[in-house]
Each structure stands twice: as C-alpha cells, then as structure tokens.
C-alpha cells in the first residue's frame, strides 16, 4: 500500500522545516533556489529523513541535455552527474534548472517523523520532491541507463520535514513505479482540466508523462471526445498507438508550430477546427521550443498545460500575446493532492498502459 506524506512539522523551526539550515549559498535562499547545499549525512538534524540512495530518476529534459553534451557516452554522463552533485550538493542541472527524484531505503528517521511518515528504517521509498532541493551526497555511480533516464548510485539523500515521500508499492516493478512517480503531477491535473466530450492534444504523447496524460484524457473526455497525440520519436509514437488512448498519434515535430498545428487540427476533425482549436493542449516534450505550437492549436479561452520543464515562460506569455490568443497558460505543478496514488491507480486500471510501461521500465 502506497503512502504519501506532505509533512508539516509545527514543532520544528522554520529553518529546519524548509531546509534553510542546509543552504550554503546564497544566504537566505530556500534550498530549491540555492546554488549550493550542505549534503553531508553526518549533520542530519532531528527533523530530517536520511535515505540510502540506490537509483536517481533524472528529469527527462536534464538527462537529454547532459547526454547530448556527453555524446551519449554513459561514463561521461556519470562523471557529469558526479560533478554537478559534488559542486552543488544536489542534482540540479545548471542548464535546464531541473532535477528528478530518487529511490532508496530509509536509513534513519527520528521518532516524531517516523510516525508522521508511517515509515521505519529499511522501508523502500521514492522522494516526491525534486532533486533540485534534495541534499545529495554521492559516493559512486554504478550504472547509467540512458534509455530510462535512471542512474544507479551509492550515496545518501536528505528529505526535509516539509517534503514528501512515497512508500514504494509492492505490486509493481520498482523501476516502473519510480518512472510513474517522477511525473505523478501530470495526469491528475489533466483529469481536472478535461470534460466529457471535450478535445485534447498532447505533445510528446509517447513519452512517459505523455502516455499517462493521454490515458487520463481519454478517461476524461470519454468515447465522444477527441484525443490527438504528437510524437517525434517513431518508436514512442508506435507505443502510444499500441496503448490506444489517442484517436490518432501523429509523427511530427512539436517545435514546428504551423505544420504541427495544421496537422493536429486536421486530424481532430471538423468540430475541433470549427471551435478554433482544442479545449486543452498539454506539452509533455523534453525539448525547448514547443510553446507556440501548443498555443496555436488551442481554442480561444482554452487551456494550455505546460508540464514540460523545457518550457520558457517568456516564449509562452509573449507568444500568446503576439498572436492575440486569449488562452489560460498553466505551469505543470509537480505536486497535486494524492498525485502518487492517483497516477499509480491510473496505471493499474489500464492494462495497455501498464504493459507498455513494463516493457520500457521493468
Ligand atoms: P520523456 O519520457 O522523455 O517524454 C518526452 C517525449 O517527447 C519523448 O518521447 C520525446 O522523444 C518527445 N519529443 C521530444 N522532442 C519532440 C518534438 N520536437 N516533438 C514531439 N515530441 C518530442 O519525458 P517525461 O519524463 O515524460 O517528461 C516530459 C517533460 O516533463 C520533460 O520536459 C520533463 O522535464 C518534464 N517534467 C516536468 C515535471 C513537472 O513537475 N512539471 C516533472 C517531471 C518531468 P525523444 O525520446 O526522441 O526525446
């Protein structure tokens, strides 16, 4: 049984609760915005949870950037990750600004927090807060898996009392569950945005968040609605077609606004074209430059949901203004209530989705 805990330690100081005591520079910054954290396991305070880390699930935009800089050489990728963590005390890619999350085993936990988390030493957990604010100390890189963006390591990590962790489910392969938990915020938030009979387009529909979002969108719009996927990687497009959540999956480039908007609207059919676009467009790509495609294909007063970490606020805001498009632009919050449980439940009730994720991650 999965258990997720957003802790609120009233009896701890503000500094300890939010991890300010771990910030080395700049003074006064919160850990996410900090340049450097003190990640030493020896200085664990009573409010913290110490995890023996086994696997890092590196954010897709970050892994893509590091891999490309390292020419897909796994040893070089490992060294680049060790270098970032050594310098910053956390895995926050200086180019993309993004992190990821991790899997490990509870090493030590104070009695008060053990009760709040419902955890004990030895329990297997995944962090539900970003690596961009998680103090991380790495002793070694064991293996780099470029295909799944997972990196097996030896080290320790710290979760602050304001953070959140999930006990790993026992009915799903751990690497699969880790991958789902990394993008757990996406599908539950899309569930809130879509309505029966509505229309949705997903950019990056064959990636892991894209597959989950498409499944949630299909459930939300029902058989009378329209779900169109766009995916540039042929094997991922085929996977999305196999899962079957989308009415059509287009092989195309989400960074080519006019071409892809025309193709998606034409695939969606007359009602969507007549409405001026989709009700909801979700960007799940891991590359920069998809903002305008998403905005162009959204109807007036529709919603664009940018889950992608490669999204530029300036390109989205100025892009919408530039074409006089009155749409709601939403930033994909990594957290929403019960996101871990809801995303795992979605996977469990969709056999096609589960089979595809097993194939990819298990
Ligand atoms: P993923 O599994 O790598 O999926 C991304 C998919 O988009 C891949 O299939 C990718 O193909 C495809 N793609 C790349 N360029 C494209 C293009 N020009 N046109 C169409 N499709 C394209 O990534 P993920 O783990 O689902 O993550 C998706 C995004 O969400 C990333 O930007 C990630 O950083 C972000 N994220 C956000 C949060 C949050 O809290 N908001 C949390 C986690 C992740 P290739 O394999 O060829 O690249």
pLDDT tens digits, 92-102: 999 999 999 99
Q: Is the pLDDT of residue 1 over 60?
A: no
For the Cβ of 134 lying below 6 angstroms from any atom of ligand 1, the answer is: no
CA distances from residue 292 to 3, 62, 68, 125, 318 in whole angstroms, order as listed: 38, 22, 24, 38, 10
Atom of ligand 1 nearest to the CA of 64: 48
Residue 112: per-residue pLDDT: 65
What is the C-alpha to C-alpha distance for residues 123 and 106, in angstroms, rounded to an integer? 5
For the Cβ of 207 lying below 6 angstroms from any atom of ligand 1, the answer is: yes
What is the C-alpha to C-alpha distance for residues 124 and 55, in angstroms, rounded to an integer? 11
Which among 286, 312, 330 is the best mutation to test ligand 1's pocket, defined by most ligand atoms within 8 Å of the CB?
286
CA distances from residue 326 to 89, 270, 311, 317, 322 in whole angstroms, order as listed: 42, 21, 19, 11, 11
How many beta carbons lie within 10 A of that of residue 156, not counting itself? Answer: 21
Element (H, E) at 58: strand 49-58
Residue 44: per-residue pLDDT: 84
For the Cβ of 159 lying below 6 angstroms from any atom of ligand 1, the answer is: no
pLDDT tens-digit series, residues 73-110: 999 999 999 999 999 999 999 999 999 999 999 999 86
For the Cβ of 231 lying below 6 angstroms from any atom of ligand 1, the answer is: yes
For the Cβ of 23 lying below 6 angstroms from any atom of ligand 1, the answer is: no
- Spatial contact of 54 and 195, defined as CB atoms under 8 Å apart: no
Atom of ligand 1 nearest to the CA of 96: 34
For the Cβ of 96 lying below 6 angstroms from any atom of ligand 1, the answer is: no
pTM of the model: 0.93
Residue 43: per-residue pLDDT: 87
- Spatial contact of 97 and 308, defined as CB atoms under 8 Å apart: no
Q: Tell how far the Cα of 287 is from the centroid of ligand 1, in angstroms.
A: 7
Q: Name the pLDDT band for 11 (thresholds 50, 70, 90).
A: low
Q: Name the pLDDT band for 8 (thresholds 50, 70, 90).
A: very low
Q: Is the pLDDT of residue 5 over 60?
A: no
Residue 4: per-residue pLDDT: 41
- Sign of the CA dihedral running 317, 283, 30, 335: positive
Closest among 156, 142, 164 to 74, alpha carbons compared? 142
Q: Tell how far the Cα of 121 is from the centroid of ligand 1, in angstroms.
A: 34
Q: Name the pLDDT band for 6 (thresholds 50, 70, 90).
A: very low
Q: Tell how far the Cα of 158 is from the centroid of ligand 1, in angstroms.
A: 27
Atom of ligand 1 nearest to the CA of 209: 26
List for the chain the helix, strand, coil content (%; round to 5). Answer: 40, 25, 35
Q: List Cβ neighbours of 100 (8 Å cut-off, separation of 6 or more).
A: 56, 57, 58, 59, 62, 63, 91, 130, 131, 149, 182
DSSP 62: H
pLDDT tens-digit series, residues 121-169: 999 999 999 999 999 999 999 999 999 999 999 999 999 988 889 999 9
For the Cβ of 254 lying below 6 angstroms from any atom of ligand 1, the answer is: yes
For the Cβ of 109 lying below 6 angstroms from any atom of ligand 1, the answer is: no
Per-chain mean pLDDT for the chain: 94
Of 14-28, 174-188, 258-272, which range is least confident? 14-28
pLDDT tens-digit series, residues 21-47: 999 999 999 999 999 999 999 988 888
For the Cβ of 230 lying below 6 angstroms from any atom of ligand 1, the answer is: yes
How far is C-alpha 205 from the geometric centre of its chain's CA atoms? 14
Burial of 104 (C-beta count, 10 Å sphere; 0-12/13-18/19+): buried
Percentage of the chain lying above the pLDDT 90 cut: 90
Q: Name the pLDDT band for 233 (thresholds 50, 70, 90).
A: very high
Residue 274: per-residue pLDDT: 97
Residue 308: per-residue pLDDT: 97
């Amino acid at each position: 049984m999965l258990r997720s805990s957003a802790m609120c330690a009233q009896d701890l100081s503000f500094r300890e609760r939010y991890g300010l005591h771990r910030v080395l520079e700049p003074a006064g910054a919160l850990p996410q915005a900090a340049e450097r954290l003190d990640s030493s396991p020896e200085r664990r305070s009573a409010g913290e949870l110490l995890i023996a880390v086994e696997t890092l699930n590196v954010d897709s935009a970050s892994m893509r950037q590091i891999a490309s800089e390292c020419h897909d050489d796994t040893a070089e990728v490992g060294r680049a990750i060790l270098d970032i963590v050594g310098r910053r005390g956390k895995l926050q890619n200086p180019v993309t600004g993004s992190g990821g999350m991790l899997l490990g085993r509870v090493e030590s936990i104070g009695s008060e927090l053990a009760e709040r988390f419902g955890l004990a030493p030895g329990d297997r957990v995944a962090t539900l807060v970003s690596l961009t604010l998680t103090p991380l100390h790495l002793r070694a890189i064991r293996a780099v898996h470029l295909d799944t963006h997972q990196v097996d390591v030896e080290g320790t990590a710290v979760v602050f009392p304001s953070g959140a962790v999930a006990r790993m489910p026992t009915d799903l392969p751990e690497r699969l569950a880790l991958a789902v938990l990394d993008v757990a915020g996406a599908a539950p938030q899309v569930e809130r945005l879509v309505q029966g009979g509505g229309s949705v387009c997903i950019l990056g529909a064959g990636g892991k968040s894209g597959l989950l979002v498409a499944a949630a969108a299909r459930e939300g719009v029902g058989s009378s609605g329209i779900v169109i996927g766009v995916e540039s990687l042929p094997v991922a497009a085929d996977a999305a077609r196999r899962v079957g959540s989308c009415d059509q999956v287009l092989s195309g480039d989400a960074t080519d606004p006019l071409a892809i908007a025309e193709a998606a609207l034409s695939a969606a059919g007359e009602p969507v074209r007549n409405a001026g676009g989709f009700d909801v467009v979700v960007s799940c790509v891991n590359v920069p430059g998809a903002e305008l495609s998403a905005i162009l294909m959204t109807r007036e007063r529709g919603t664009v949901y940018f889950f992608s970490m490669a999204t530029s606020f300036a390109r989205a805001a100025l892009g919408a203004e530039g074409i006089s498009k009155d749409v709601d632009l939403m930033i994909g919050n990594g957290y929403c209530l019960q996101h871990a449980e809801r995303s795992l439940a979605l996977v469990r009730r969709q056999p096609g989705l589960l089979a595809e994720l097993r194939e990819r991650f298990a």
